[in-house]
Chain A
Amino acid sequence: MPEKPDVLQGTLALMVLKTLDLLGPLHGYGIARRIEQISGDLLAVNQGTLYPLLLKLEHEGAIVSDWGASENNRRARFYRLTRAGRKQLKTETRDWDQTAAIISRFFEVKAEDLS
């Protein structure tokens, strides 16, 4: 079985924010599954690491959480993006795009372009 890449903390936070932005309030398992789904099973998140991260985002005010009922009618904690979280997502997306653009330019460049 090929090894799946670890997810860096920063990108994981960005993924969580984006997922919540797309799908609205979700519980922890839901977030983990969506991230797995979207990444095409490439990112087997050490799923438990999601919870300390969610707590951190909550402390920072990017998300809020509340108890609710899950699909099979059990008590689950639902996370929801706040206005501050949406703003954070916007800036982080921009930063990510910039970084990615720079890196891809480095990959595309050929020796003759620089002569």
Chain B
Amino acid sequence: MKFLRRFFARLSNLATDSRADQRLLEEMEEHLAQQTADNVRAGMPAAEARRQAMLKFGAVGTIREDYHTELKLPFIETLLQDLRYAVRMLLRSPGFSFIAIATMALGVGATTAIYSVIDATLLHPLPYPSPAELVRIQDDLPGVGAQGVGISVPEWRDLESSGIFQSAAITGTGANVNLTGSAQPLRLSFKQVTPNYFAVLGVDAQWGRTFDPHDATPGYNLEVVISDGLWRREFGADPHILGKALRLDNDVYHVVGVMPRGFRDQGSSSEEQNVELWLGAGFAGVPFPPPLRSSRLRSRVVIARLKPGLSIAAAQAGLDALVESLKKQYPAEYPAPTKWTVRLIPLSETVVGSVRQSLILLFGAVGLVLLISCVNVANLLLAKASGRSREIAVRQALGAQKNASSASS
């Protein structure tokens, strides 16, 4: 309390720059006059009386300095002085200042830019709850040198009932569709997804609902979920959007939900991540081919959420066992030479993909650039400082304190 009061009194003195030093001078003068008068009364000659008074008073320089220290906040005062000095020095050699500042700015800017990319991709790749449980499931036929051949609907159902996953969803990889019937026709990107898609991601709609995960419609269920961006941009954030009919490539769908603001779909391309419409489909009836083991859904992706606590390796082992038993059960569908396998890949890998290595490398590179720019600026300063050694010597000879002269060097 006492300390605070003192601090604020000094701060206000500093801010108002009040000349209270004048008061000390006046008081000192009065003090000396009285002491001199007393000395004279005690029988001293006038000159000696004055001299004795001054001796008793003490070193005037030190006292004035102490008084000034108490009057204001010397720490802040010196700081301001140094700042002013720094600005003056920068302005005195604008070329040097510009080069130094530009060097540092480039180094810092490059590092920040790459770091923000790394933060978004490597550190927070999936904006969904419990992202470690999310996997992508890929079917390979290494026997015939084919990768990512797609899944068939019966296989998907086997995965769903395998007990390894909380649920697995089939999704398209993004395509375009024409929206007609509104003020102006639009070409929008959409994805076909099985109705449990949003349950796998663990994200719910902000308005209405997503698809019912138990919906077993074989073809399109004629429901559509739209993105927050589309809702605001094309429908003016219409609160009556739910149930509205949209004509997409001449089929009529009904809006059942709006995804939350900032929701980004998973996927390896930005086009996939910026999808604005999701159509629910079972992939098992018209217009899709009949659900046979032999008809694989090409250019579709399967993503799934593992049972909680299950590691990818353990899940993969369970999946391998399932594949083996299916091969025995349907030898005609899975001929041995194709060596059908199913692979689990962490979903974060599909976002980051093969750029992980190059990103880390790039980050290292810009880190070095920052380091180099720091060294460069340090060198420049060193060269400048050695040029100023004369000035510093003069300052010290004139009585600058050690720390004051180093602060302004």
CB of B34 within 8 A of CB of A72, answer yes
The answer to whether A47 has its CB under 8 Å from any CB of chain B is: yes
Which of chain A's residues 64-115 have a Cβ closer than 8 Å to chain B? 70, 72, 74-77, 88
A interface secondary structure, majority: helix
Please tell me if the beta carbons of A77 and B2 are within 8 angstroms of each other in the complex: no
8 A Cβ contacts from B47-96 to A: 56-60, 62-63, 66-67, 69-71
Residues 32-49 of A, flagged 1 when their CB comes within 8 A of B and 0 if not, give 110000000000101111
Choose among B30, B58, B70 the residue that contacts A46 (Cβ–Cβ < 8 A): B58
Cα–Cα distance between A104 and B60 once the two chains are bound (Å): 38
Q: Does A27 contact B (CB under 8 A)?
A: yes
Q: Is A48 a contact partner of B58 (Cβ separation < 8 A)?
A: yes
- The interface stretch among B21-29, B102-110, B135-143, B241-249 is B21-29
Total number of A-B contacts with CB less than 8 angstroms? Answer: 73
A9: min CB distance to chain B, Å: 11
CB–CB B67/A75 < 8 A: no
* B187 interface hit (Cβ, 8 Å): no
In the assembled complex, the CB of A73 is this many whole angstroms from the nearest CB of chain B, namely 11
Tell me, rounded to whole Å, the shortest Cβ–Cβ distance linking B47 to chain A.
Answer: 20
Interface residues on A, range: 20 to 34
List, in ascending order, chain B residues with CB within 8 A of A70's CB.
30, 34
Contact A72 B9 (CB under 8 A): no
Q: Is the CB of B6 within 8 A of A28?
A: no
A55 CB-CB contact with B under 8 Å: yes
A48 near B57 (CB under 8 angstroms)? yes
In contact, A48 and B28 (Cβ under 8 angstroms): yes
Q: Ordered nearest first, which 8 A-B pairs have the shortest CB separation?
A: A48-B63, A46-B58, A48-B58, A52-B66, A59-B9, A59-B6, A29-B34, A52-B67
User: Can you name 29 A-B residue pairings with CB atoms under 8 Å?
Assistant: A27-B27, A28-B27, A28-B31, A29-B30, A29-B35, A44-B56, A46-B57, A47-B35, A48-B31, A48-B62, A49-B66, A51-B24, A51-B67, A52-B67, A55-B20, A55-B71, A56-B6, A60-B2, A60-B6, A61-B5, A70-B34, A72-B37, A74-B30, A74-B33, A75-B30, A76-B27, A76-B30, A77-B26, A88-B2
